[in-house]
Each structure stands twice: as structure tokens, then as C-alpha cells.
Amino acid sequence: MHSLDRIQFQNEFVDRFPGDQTGNKRPRQTPGMLYSRVQPTPVPKVELLAWSDALAAELEIEKPSSQAIVDILGGNSVTPTMKPYAACYAGHQFGNWAGQLGDGRAITLGEMAGAGGSWELQLKGPGQTPYSRRADGRAVLRSSVREYLMSEAMHALGVPTTRALSLVSTGEPVLRDMFYDGHPAHEPGAIVMRVAPSFLRFGSFEMPAARNEIDNLRTLVNWTIDRYYPHLPTGPDRILAWFAEVAEKTAFLMAEWMRVGFVHGVMNTDNMSILGLTIDYGPYSFLDDYDPDFTPNTTDLPGKRYAFGRQPSIAYWNLGCLGGALAPLLPDTKELVAILDKYESVYLQKHFAMMERKLGLDSLRPEDRALVASGEKILFTAKPDMTIFYQLLAGLPDAGDAESIIRYFEPAWYVAPSGSDADAFVAFINQYRERIASNAISPGERVQKMGAANPRFILRNYMLHNAIEELQDGEPGLFRQLETALLNPYQPEDDRFFVRRPDWAGQKAGCSMLSCSS
Ligand code: AMP
Ligand code: MG
């Protein structure tokens, strides 16, 4: 086990690439640079609120045993081998080119060797950097709790994600206009230590491409492939092979989000990980009622660009931006386009493999595609709670008439379907019954397969909302319960959280929809 203050950090990114070394935090463009060296801004008092034992065990890091070590988690102390920096990247936001963005409220401290390779340790909320633009570089407790818990929850669900090692309070109030209604208020400040093999984004490649800094672009691409995709063969097609693999990882991530009902909420290209990880937890949500049109992000309401059901095609759009950034490194764009053209079939293959598990089928037969498609349509119409529906589907009784079917699914209904909607739902369930009657796996194996693919516990927004409110009042009970519950999403120890979103939470801010303000 290592003590955080004694880890020998590597700083390959800083050592390898051109960066602004001045340490100046003044907001500015940094052409020619892939990062800016910058120190965290100290806060009044760092207090440890949460520590991920699971991640700490993987990294072999000891839980902090002194205030001096806790101070590292809040940016009040930087160890001698760390070379803190903010990365420079660009992005397309809501479909529009936004130019330079960069780590405005994140600072990477260093890279450490650990299980399975190298890990970057990064603070989110440590104060201003040259990329903070007009903002403060801070994060509030509300959004930090959401990032901390959800990172670890997604990992426990088996969904690729950046991780979170710790959550600290800073003792510094932070001013936020949470509802964007001209009524800013102070909220407690906090900092999360995030961990990932890399925080590089699609936007990290769009930046040098847009600036026509082709040498920087080429070196960054080669370094990324050597370091994170070392299995790819060297040769003239290396970049294309890499792009195809990024597309595949991204497609897999989308299928995984669809499996667990996760809506990211801000799928801008600066929030797309080059490793296919879920990154930058903001106004995300799990689905409660099954609604592919649902976006949790109030800023996204006009176009619902980032709604649940759109995520796989938005990923394709974002991959198009990444492909565009790589084009200057290739003789022509034909093959890039060919890879993009394959995305849909790559995604569908992953989608159907995922649905096979979700529905507990022995295999996905060609005719099952119609079953999957009608299932989606029926769910969209009947809008049961997604998580509860699949749990009940796993335990579906062999027989029963229409009325008993609707009654059986009662725990999942926000509004029970009636008339032709009920008929359609019942018809689907009977179709499903017929299909599983011919399963080549036993009923027990079916239930097991479904149990491993369908979470029984998800971190619903209203639960997070309640946990945050209580924590802000000094009552950490619910927060702790969620922190424990998220570790076993498929086989919870008890069913305390196995309930629909309560009525009061449907319209309440922070319980269903959220703003980006964090
Ligand atoms: P996000 O919506 O979190 O993906 O952020 C988009 C951009 O805004 C990134 O460059 C962030 O670093 C920056 N940003 C967001 N919030 C803040 C903040 N409080 N202070 C400084 N920069 C911020
Ligand atoms: Mg972001």
C-alpha cells in the first residue's frame, strides 16, 4: 500500500508535450500548447467526506491518515513529484464549434503506476486555470457528490467510466445561479479526486487540428496510440485502425448506457473520452419511466439533442468531429468515412448482444430483432419504470390473462396503461413468453442472465437530491447508504431502494431535471 504523499508520480504528458510553463492563471488562449502548468488554489479547510475503498484497493493507496495527506485531496498540498497542469482542449457544444475550452475547473496532479497500467489523478474544483474563462474553477458539494457517487456506481454496474477516489469539502462557499434565474446563492464548495488512465477527449484532438498545429496533432495521436492502444499494429494504417477502435469502444459505451438507462445529458465532444469511458458527470440521470425522449439537462430542453434515445446517434456525430480532426494526418478522407459508415452496424451488433442479455434469450435469432423493436415501442407507450420493469420481467409467471399481466407489473407503473395501450403491452408480454418457451437455456439460466444485465439498484436523481440536502444539513446517513448500495447494483442486500420515483419528485428541480450549473 502507498501513502498518497509518498507516491512517485510520473508526468509523461507534461514532459512530452509543449505547454505553457508560466503558471499564470489569467484566462487566455494558449495556441501551440497542449496544457498549462497551474497550481491548485488553496481553500480554507479540507475535510474528507468520502473515500472509495474499492478504488483505493485497486490503486493500492492507503486511506489518508493525517490532515497533511487530506490536504492533497483538496489541492492545499502538492507533493514534490507532482507537476500539476490543466489540459487544453476544444469542442463542439450542442452541435456548434466552441473553440478552445480546456480544463477550467480540473487540474491533473500526476500519473501513477497501478493495477493495469498508469492512472491520472485529477482534482475537479481546485480553482482557476487559464481555461476558466469567466468562471471560478470551483465545484459545489451538490455536483461533487453526484460525480463521486455516480463514477463509482457506474463502475460497479460494469459500465466503462472514469473513477472517483475521494470527496472533500473545502470550507469555501461558492456562488451559483442554480436555476439560471438571476438568483445566485452560496453553496458549500467541494473537490473530487478523479482517476482514469487518461482524461483525453475528442476535443483534445480537435484543438490542434483547428489551429492547424499538425505536428502537435500527430505527436498527440501517436502518443495516445502507443500508450493506450499499444496492441494496434504499426504501419501506414495505424491511425485508421485506432479510429475504428475508438468508434467501437464508443459504440459499446452507448450500448452500455442504454442497458442501464443512463442519460449523460451533455454529450459535447469535449465530454467524449478517447478511451470510451463515461466522463464529466453533470446533469445526468437514470431513466425512471421509460422515455427515449427524456433529457435531464434543462439547457438541452429546446432541441432535446442529448435525450436518452438519441445518445447512440449523437456519438456517431461526435465521432464525425473526431474523424474530421484526424483528417489532416491522412492522405484522403475516404477510409475515415468508411469507418464512420460502419458505426451503425457496429453499434447495432452491440445493441442486440446487449438486448439478448437484458431479455434473457439464449441467442439473438434474426427474428428476435422484431421482438426487440416492438418491445422498445411498447415500453415507450406504456412508460413503466425501466429498472423495475426488467426486474419483474425476469420473474414473469408462465401463465396469466391480460388483467393479471397488467397487475403483475403494478410496481413499475407510473400510470397503468389502459385500452389499446394495455392490449399492446399484453400482446408483447405474450410474445415474449412464447419466445422464452423455446429458449435453449433453462428458465434458471434465463433468470441468471437477466440478473447480471439488469440492475436492481440505480442511483436515481431524487435519491441523490435527498442525500445532498441532508448532507448539506450535516446529516450523512442517506449519503452513506447510497455509497454502500451502489456497490451491489445487481444483488442489493435489501430492497429499500427498489421503488419508483415518488410523485413529488417528478417535477421538482434536481430530482428529475437539472441545470449544468455546478
Ligand atoms: P462542462 O459543461 O462541465 O463539460 O464544461 C464545459 C467547459 O466549461 C469546460 O472547459 C469546463 O472546464 C468549463 N467550466 C465549467 N464550469 C466551470 C467553472 N465553475 N469554472 C471554470 N470553468 C468551468
Ligand atoms: Mg466537460
pLDDT in tens, 281-300: 999 999 999 999 999 999 99
Q: How far apart are CA 124 and CA 105, in angstroms?
A: 6
Strand segments, DSSP code E, in 407-491 are: none
Ligand 2 centre and the CA of 262: distance in Å? 17
What average pLDDT is seen over the chain?
Answer: 97
Assess contact for 279 and 162: CB atoms under 8 A.
Answer: yes
Identify the pLDDT of residue 517.
75
Alpha carbon distances (Å) from 476 to 44, 120, 466, 479, 501: 21, 29, 10, 5, 21
For residue range 342-389, list pLDDT tens digits in order: 999 999 999 999 999 999 999 999 999 999 999 999 999 999 999 999
Please count the other Cβ atoms lying within 10 Å of the Cβ belonging to residue 514: 26
The confidence score (pLDDT) of residue 336 equals 97
| pLDDT confidence tier of residue 265, bands split at 50, 70 and 90 | very high
Tell me the pLDDT band of 404, cut-offs 50, 70 and 90. Answer: very high
Q: Amino acid letter at 299?
A: T
462 CA distance to ligand 2 middle (Å): 23
CA 139 to ligand 1: nearest atom: 19
Residue 215 has pLDDT above 80, yes or no: yes
- Please answer whether residues 506 and 294 qualify as being in contact, where contact means their C-beta atoms are separated by less than 8 angstroms: no
The Cα 9–Cα 287 span in angstroms is 40
Please tell me the number of the ligand nearest to residue 146's CA: 1
Name the pLDDT band for 393 (thresholds 50, 70, 90). Answer: very high
Does the pLDDT at position 518 exceed 80? no
pLDDT over 80 at 36, yes or no: yes
Integer Cα distance of 70 and 96 in angstroms: 40
CA angle at residue 128 from 123 to 133, to 5 degrees?
120
Q: Is the pLDDT of residue 155 over 90?
A: yes
Q: Read off the pLDDT of each residue in 219-245 and give the average, rounded to a whole number.
A: 97
Question: Could you read off the pLDDT of 119-142 as tens digits, one per residue?
Answer: 999 999 999 999 999 999 999 999
Nearest-ligand number for the alpha carbon of 126: 1
82-99 pLDDT per residue, tens: 999 999 999 999 999 999
The residues pairing with 168 across neighbouring beta strands, listed in sequence order, are 48, 191
Identify which of 150, 164, 161 has the alpha carbon closest to the alpha carbon of residue 192: 164
Residues 49 and 125: beta-carbon distance below 8 Å: no
Q: How many angstroms separate the alpha carbon of residue 439 from the centre of ligand 1? A: 49
Domain extents in the chain:
4-198, 203-353, 362-440, 461-506
Position 515 scores a pLDDT of: 84
pLDDT class of 30 with cuts at 50, 70, 90: very high
Residues 484-495 have a mean pLDDT of 96
Report the atom number in ligand 1 closest to the C-alpha of 106: 12
- Residues near ligand 1 (Cβ within 6 A): 101-105, 131-132, 135-138, 266, 270-271, 280, 282, 516
Question: Integer distance in angstroms from the first to the last C-alpha of the chain?
Answer: 34
Q: Is the pTM of this model over 0.95?
A: yes
Query: What does the pLDDT average to over 45-63?
Result: 97
Percentage of the chain surpassing pLDDT 90? 95
Pairwise CA distance, residues 406 & 52, whole Å: 41
Q: Distance between CA 44 and CA 81 in Å, rounded?
A: 24
**Nearest residue to 89 (alpha-carbon basis) of 339, 320, 223, 273:** 273
- Closest-CA residue to 390 (of 515, 287, 271): 287
Nearest atom within ligand 1 for CA of residue 138: 19
Q: In the chain, what percentage of residues exceed pLDDT 70?
A: 100
**Banded model confidence at residue 178, pLDDT cuts 50, 70, 90:** confident
Q: How far is the CA of 105 from the centre of ligand 1 (A)?
A: 6
Closest CA to 87 of 230, 222, 267, 216: 216
Pairwise CA distance, residues 36 & 102, whole Å: 10
- Report the C-alpha gap between 76 and 67 in whole angstroms: 10
Ligand 1 atom with the shortest distance to the CA of 89: 10
Element (H, E) at 314: helix 311-326
pLDDT of residue 108: 98
Q: What is the pLDDT of residue 104?
A: 98
| Annotation says 423 is catalytic | no
Q: Residue 181 — very low, low, confident or very high, per pLDDT cuts 50/70/90? A: confident
Compute the average pLDDT of residues 51-60: 97
Residue nearest to atom 7 of ligand 1 (CA): 101
pLDDT given for residue 103 in this prediction = 98
Average pLDDT score over residue span 39-48 = 98
Residues 270, 280, 288, 368: which is the catalytic one? 270
Residue 248 pLDDT: 98
Tens-digit pLDDT profile for residues 429-464: 999 999 999 999 999 999 999 999 999 999 999 999
402 vs 509, residue with greater confidence: 402
